Amino acid sequence: MKRIIICFSFLLLVFVLKAQTHEHEICGYQHEVEKLLKKQPNFLTWQNALFEQAMLEYNDMQGAKRKIIPDTQYYQIPVVFHVLYNNSNENINESYIQSQLNELNLAFRKLTADTLRIRAIFKPIAADVRIQFVLATKDPNGNPTNGITRTQTFKTTFATSIYGEYNDDMKWTNNGGKDAWNPARYLNIWTCNMRYPNQVSMTLGFATPPTGAPNWWGNVTKDSTDVESGVVLHYSIVGRNNPLAIANNVEAKTGIHEVGHYLGLRHIWGDGQGNNGCNVDDGIFDTPNAKDKNYSCSKSNPPNTCIDATNDLPDQTENYMDYALDGCAAMFTKQQAFLMRYVLNNFRTGLPYREITFDTTYDQTKIEMFPNPATEKKDVKLQISTLEKATFHVLVIDMNGKQVLSFDVMSNEVASIDISGFARSVYYVIISDADKKIVDRKPLVIFQ
């Protein structure tokens, strides 16, 4: 009996030490997969099939020398943030949500200044994913909304145990959370307290992988908990430079990482661990093989945890799907971009993304906008060069589609865009002709 008590005490000590010394759990994706496997034992088989199919299509497109991601297609995903709070800190300010959305949009358009971190070997494969996120303007009943719900909860935390599984109470009104808005039409992001009970550490975020493509039904039960689809973020890491943020989590990168999972991506090390790590891949060929997660991105001694026989590359610690997030992450690869767009086209097809196509009449038209990104509050110049003189209408909108400026400009003349009232964000400059046909839509990035 005594021995049992000693063993138990020892275990308890190890457990407490681990809880005290270990970092936060950056991402709870694996727990989500484990939960999913209980309901859909064939999930991983189908997920692997998804990656194989997507990569085959990617190679076909490359073989045919077609553009991997046609320039004319952008996808827009409406987002709703469900803010759950037990105290006023958790009732996060709208500015953090706007900031998180900014950072998501900068990341998915490869426009963030953090791209300077990308090493030369990976620069050619860093992708503009051409997916953007906007706060929903209509709720599921068609009523106007700012895309944010706020719910006071009796729950002091939504985490149930340390590093273990947790439930999805935040997604259910009856359990102290907030029911999802139709997940087929919105990306639901819940923000709440994910601190482990009576601990200082927490899970920073997690996301549900896409399930239930139409061709899965042969062997896989339809996921009845589809309403749990979405992303969950610990409240204090939402947005850039959130003053409540825990150390080293000020760049809003966890939110980007989790949306990557939501759109189908796996961790770049493939979630294999230990000696087997180099034999488990993430199903994406342009992310170098890695043995395990990296928590940092040393410039002087960059990790290379798997030596490949051909084309050996170091671990891609710049990737949003590694664990070296804030301070390191700055890119998705071209194949990751393809996979996420493939998921939108094949799985999350109900999201009312909008494909924007441009009039090809103006293919020869040259549109210049400078400086862009704008790093100072000086006017941005815009010039539309055409063979024949024509009048164009210019509309500047913010990320939520709200008009901030509109004017007409003659071709071959230089127009000035006064950005003194613009915030640090991505804006869109939409140029249309006299027949109101869209000629082009260019992002204008304001860094100041």
In whole angstroms, the minimum distance from the beta carbon of 29 to Zn ion comes to 4
The site for Zn ion, by CB under 5 A, has a size of 2
Long-range contacts from 269-275, C-beta under 8 angstroms, 24+ separation: 269/293, 269/294, 269/305, 269/315, 269/322, 271/30, 271/33
**Token couple for 325:** 């997030």
SS3 54: helix
Contact 291, 305 (CB under 8 A): yes
Determine if 75 is a binding residue for Zn ion (CB under 5 A).
no
Stretch 142-201 residues interacting with Zn ion (CB under 5 A): none
Q: Kindly state whether residue 329 participates in binding Zn ion, applying the rule CB under 5 A.
A: no
Q: Using the rule CB under 5 A, is 29 a contact of Zn ion?
A: yes
- Residue 313: CA count within 13 A, CB half-sphere: 15
- Residue 427 engages Zn ion in binding (rule: CB under 5 A): no
Q: Which amino acid is at 178?
A: K
Site for Zn ion contains 235 (CB under 5 A): no
Interstrand relation of 131-135 and 75-85 (parallel, antiparallel or unpaired): parallel
| Least distance CB 265 / Zn ion (angstroms) | 9
Please pick, from the candidates 27, 80, 280, 419, the single residue that binds Zn ion as defined by CB under 5 A: 27
- Shortest spacing between CB 79 and Zn ion, in angstroms: 19
Catalytic-labelled residue, pool 32, 228, 251, 258: 258
85 interacts with Zn ion by CB under 5 A: no
Which residue's CB comes closest to Zn ion? 27
Element (H, E) at 393: strand 391-397
Is 27 or 202 the residue whose CB approaches Zn ion more closely? 27
Q: Tell me if residue 57 is catalytic.
A: no
In three-state form (DSSP H/G/I as H, E/B as E, the rest C), the secondary structure along 64-84 is CCCCCCCCCCCEEEEEEEEEE
Among the listed ranges 3-11, 19-27, 131-139, 340-348, the one in contact with Zn ion (CB under 5 A) is 19-27
Region binding Zn ion by CB under 5 A among candidate stretches 23-31, 229-237, 285-293, 425-433: 23-31
Q: State the DSSP string of 154-182.
A: S-S-S--SSSS----GGG-GGGTS-PPP-
Nearest approach, Cβ of residue 181 and Zn ion (Å): 23
Least separation in angstroms between residue 323's CB and Zn ion is 8
Minimum CB distance to Zn ion, residue 27 (Å): 3
Q: Which is nearer to Zn ion, 82 or 257 (CB)?
A: 257
Torsion angles phi and psi, residue 439, rounded to 5: -90, -45
Give me the residues paired with residue 149 across strands.
Answer: 82
Min. distance of Cβ 50 from Zn ion in angstroms? Answer: 17
Judged by beta carbon, residue 29 or residue 342, the one nearer Zn ion is 29
Q: Does position 323 bind Zn ion by CB under 5 A?
A: no
Q: Indicate the residue among 118 and 325 with the shorter CB distance to Zn ion.
A: 325
| Token pair in block for residue 214 | 């139409």
The residue (of 204 and 384) whose beta carbon lies closer to Zn ion is: 204
Residue 29 or 96 with smaller CB distance to Zn ion: 29
The nearer residue to Zn ion, 204 or 369, going by C-beta atoms, is 204
Residue with tokens 């293919």: 363
Q: Compute CA distances 21 → 126, 165, 198, 247, 295, whole Å.
A: 35, 20, 14, 14, 15
Q: What is the b/e burial string over 35-69, where b = at least 16 CB atoms within 10 angstroms of the residue's CB?
A: bbeeebeebeebbeebbeebbeebeeeeeeeeeeb
Q: Is 269 in the site for Zn ion (CB under 5 A)?
A: no
Residues that bind Zn ion (CB under 5 A): 27, 29
Show which residues are catalytic. 258
